[in-house]
Every structure is written in structure tokens, then in C-alpha cells.
Structure 1
Amino acid sequence: MRSVGRVLGWIGGGLITLLVLGMIAIVVYGNVGVRQAESVPLATVRNDPRIDLVHSDGAWVMTPTDGQAAEGQATDGLVFIPGAKVDPLAYASMLAGLVREGVTVIITKPTLNLAFFDLRRLTAFTALAPWVQRWAVGGHSLGGVRACQLVGGGGVQTLVLFASYCARDISGTDVRVLSVSGSRDGLSTPTKINNARPLLPADAESVVIDGANHASFGAYGDQPGDGTATESSATVQAEIDDAVLRFLTG
């Protein structure tokens, strides 16, 4: 019996060791190789007097500084979830155009830089901007997949996918959906997005930006496996602004 107990002890100890090692591996994976925000685009946002960028409760809050929020006029807001292992601030310049037009944007900072490990409810982020009356949730790449899981929570019925698609079937819901993607995306390829289209409501809107790749939706440099962008960042930015603003405020 002692030998059996000893063996069981070894097995139990081995399982605990494997669990600890697995947790360490996840922590290391989530924090090593994070794509950082490019300094010049980020500095442009930080130095823009029309934008207030502050860190609050595990998220970056971007608000217009023209008094709209204080006067209760900034009715539209977007909770944005970053792609896997991408610095949240890498999206600040891409989303700045929306803020300049009066949209409040909250960029989440996912646990371990991976959206699926962030278990916070959508209301944890919408509470950071109580003046917003109409919320949307969206995200880039893996962040968009996570946004699909969160939409509907807290009464949010508007979803914006940036180079992403849903793994959850929301085709039978009343969720308003805008999918913005790039024709040169080598990761969330046009084929993958088209194949996942049946999971969205029939009236979901789709905008394909010609010449944009996966990394065109942020400012963090090139990404392995991506296609080559043939359109300038400025042009892609303008098309994103036009499509998203029309969708959110229309």
C-alpha cells in the first residue's frame, strides 16, 4: 500500500508540475514578441490637441477634446479589442480619425495580450465613458473574433470587424455588422472572410479595401505571413474612417 501511495504521490506531483509549467509557458508566450506601436504615428495622436488619450482600468480611452463629451453630444462609442500580441496603442492612430469626428474609442488591453484570456464583460469598458449613448464593439483579427462573442452584452447590438470574422453564429440575431477587410490580407484572407460570411446576419455590410493587408489596420510594422500592401497607410486610413463613421452614425 505504501508503494501505491508513493506512486500516486509521484503522479500527483507530476501533474502539478506540468500544470505550473503550462501556466508559465502561457505567460511567456503572451508577453514575448508583442508587436509594439510605431513611435511616429503614436506621437501624432499624443500631440493632437483634438484627442485626449488616457489609460484607465486596463484600457486606453480616447475622447474628443472639443467639449462634445462634456456637453453630452458625443453619443457614439466603440470598444475596440486588439489583435493577438499587439500593443493596444498600435491602433491609436488608426482609430484617431473616428475620435476627431466625435466618437469615443476605448481600446482594451487584454490579459496576456490575448483577447480570449480577457474575461471582463463589455460593461467593464462601456462604464469608462458614461456619456456615450450608442455603443459598438469591434476588433482586429483575433480581437474581432472576441468581439463577436461579446456583442449583445450590455445591450450593445453593433459589431465592427477589422480584418476579422466570427467563429460564433450570429446570423439569427438583430446585430448590426460592418466587416472591413483588405484585399491583400495574407492572414484573415478574403477566402476565410467569405467562408465565414454565413455566420453573420443577412444584412451585414462588407467593405473590402483594395491594396490593404492585415497590418494595414494598425501601426505596428510588418507581420509574418501577411500579404504585401499596395496602398498607402493614409489612403487605407481614410477608407476605414469613411466606412466606420458612415456605419456608426448613419
Structure 2
Amino acid sequence: MKTKKHWRRSVFWIVGILLFLVAGAMAAYRYWVYPPASEALTALKSDESVRIAESGNEIVFDPVREPVQPSVIFYPGALVDPEAYSPWARALAQRGSRVYIVSMPLNLAIFGQSRADAIIDAHPGESFVLGGHSLGGAFAARYATAHPEKLKGVFFLASYADKKGDLSGTQLPVLQLTGSRDGILSLDKRTEGEQYLPASAEYVSIEGGNHAQFGSYGPQRGDLAPVITEQAQHERIVSAMADWLASIK
């Protein structure tokens, strides 16, 4: 009988410790995820020019007028809430492009590289470009390398292609946007990554922009302070993206 009671007490303590560890892990995870700033939450409201809705694993920014092609699929950066990219996604939709921001398991694109498939398969009448911010861009490139026939182009926001995302042998149009005050993106790795991009790739540097202002989630640990406003950086993102999209046939 004593052994049985001892066993039950041991199970109770083991379960209690496991619950404590799970609760601690969840609390730590919430601490590390960058939430959307108030500006991003405001940009998530539909109006007479853009309809915004969550569908499956995507936030869809849909122009009220007939969308232009190609549509945009976007993979967020590591541990960044997908809603944090809503200001520039909304502005791009106001220019006529349908934008899909993809949510990732645990907010890490490494676990959701193929999530573009669901969007592409569900909309056979659309053409698409795929890109992402930081880690999201690297895994967008890996998807594009495996499925170049499904895409019209690839774009990088404060990101670069690696060997597993080698696009140099494709004919895909590529756009890479970086900020001159980016304290997160490694200059050496970005330069090294150019060998994995087509010779026709376009490179745009946003002077004064940093890493975090490719979204709207406040300062990021390790980043440099920007010398332009978040709104100004988003305007330059949208302008460069709109020009690039207009050049894709």
C-alpha cells in the first residue's frame, strides 16, 4: 500500500513539474515573439479600398477594385507576429496587388516552408511572387528553388538566398531590399548570397532604414537605430515593390 501511495505521489510531482515547465516555455515563447505595434493593428481594418480577412493560415489584403497580377505571398521573419507587416501590405493592396501574409508554426518559416502551396493551389486563376523578411525570405527562396514553375518572381526584405535556395539557374525576377542601418542582417552573408541570385536580380538599399522597420513591431534586439521613420521606410518598400511587380509579365 505504501508503494502504491509513493507511486501516486511521484506521478503527481512529475506531472506538476512537467506542467510548470510547459507553462514556463509558453511564457518564454510569448516574451520572444515580437507583437504587432498599434500602427499595424490599425492597418488591419477594412475600408472602401481594401478588404482584409483571415483565411486558413493567411491574412489576405484584397483590393476592392480588380487586383492586378501577380499576387504577393509573404513569409514573416522569425518570431515576428504576421500582423506586424500589415501597414505596407495594406498600402501595396491599395495600389492594386492582392497580398497574402502567411502565418507560420511557432512563428518560424523553417516549419512552414511549403505553406505557399495552399494559396497557389486554392487560386488557379492567379499568378504569384513569393518573398519574406529575414528568415522568411531564406525559406521563400528554398520553396522557389524547389517549385520555380509555380512563381513569377521572388523578393527579399532584409534577407538573402543561401545554397539551399539557389535561384541563380532560374529565370525568375528577383528583388532584394535592404536597409542601410540594418544591425541584424549579416553583410558578409548577404554579399555571399548574391552568387545564388540570377544576374538580373535588382538590389535596392533603403538609406536610413533598419531591420525591424520592414515590419511594424518596435525595436528588435541587436538592430541599429533607424534615421528615417517607419512610415517612410514602408513607403519606400511599397514603391520599390510596386515598380518591380509592374515589370513582371
Task: Name the TM tier (shorter chain).
Answer: 0.7 to 0.9
CA contact (8 A) 2:158 2:179 kept: yes
The answer to whether the aligner puts 1:141 opposite 2:141 as a matched pair is: no
1:87 aligns with 2:86: no
Amino acid of the structure 2 residue aligned with 1:217: F
Q: Distance in 2 between matches of 1:55 and 1:235?
A: 27
Q: 1:247–1:203: structure 2 CA closer, same or farther, 3 Å change rule?
A: same
Are the counterparts in 2 of residues 162 and 180 from structure 1 also a CA contact under 8 Å? yes
Does residue 104 of structure 1 match 2:98?
yes
Secondary structure at the residue paired with 2:43?
A: helix
Greater helix share, structure number: 2
Question: Who is 1:187 aligned against?
Answer: 184
- Aligned counterparts of 1:127 and 1:138: Cα–Cα separation in 2: 17
**Which residue in 2 is equivalent to 1:58?**
57
- Which one-letter code corresponds to 1:93 in the other structure? P
Partner of 1:219: 216
Select the residue among 107, 112, 121 that pairs with 1:118.
Answer: 112
How does the TM-score come out when normalised to structure 2? 0.82
Asked whether the equivalents of residues 102 and 115 of structure 2 are also in contact (C-alpha less than 8 Å), the reply is no
TM-score, normalised with respect to structure 1: 0.81
**Does residue 163 of the first structure (1) align with residue 158 of the second (2)?**
yes
* Matched residue SS, 1:226: coil
Deviations 1:114-164 (A, max 9, x none): 1011153422122454542x2100000000011001115262140010000
Partner deviation per Cα, 1:23-68 (whole Å, 9 max, x = no partner): x79x7475552111112332134154311111111111110113x1
2-structure distance, mates of 1:127, 1:31:
32
Amino acid across the alignment from 1:34? V
Identity %: 33
3-state DSSP of counterpart to 2:209: coil
Aligned mates of 1:45, 1:121 — CA distance in 2: 22
AA matched with 2:60: V
User: Which residue of 202, 224, 244 corresponds with 1:205?
Assistant: 202
Aligned residues of 2:105 and 2:112 also touching (Cα < 8 A): yes
Contact 2:43–2:90, Cα closer than 8 Å, also in 1: no
The Cα offsets for residues 148-188 of structure 1, whole Å up to 9 and x where unpaired, read as 01115262140010000011222122121100010100011
Letter in 2 for 1:150: Y
Q: Is the 8 A contact 1:182 1:190 kept in 2?
A: no
Q: Root-mean-square deviation (CA), in Å?
A: 2.4
What per-residue deviation string (whole Å, max 9, x for no partner) do you get for residues 200-220 of structure 1?
111110000000000110000
User: What is the DSSP-based 3-state SS (H/G/I as helix, E as strand, rest coil) of the residue aligned with 1:207?
Assistant: strand
Aligned 1:171-182 pairs, distance under 5 A: 171-182=168-179
1:36 aligned partner, one-letter code: P
Q: Which moved more, 1:76-85 or 1:46-55?
A: 46-55
The 4+ residue runs of structure 1 with deviation greater than 4 A are 27-32, 128-131
Q: Displacement of 1:240 after TM fit?
A: 0.9
- 1:78 is aligned, of 68, 72, 75, to 72
Q: Aligned partners of 2:179, 2:188: CA distance in 1, in Å?
A: 11
Corresponding pairs, count:
223
In structure 2, the gaps of 5 or more residues are: 1-17
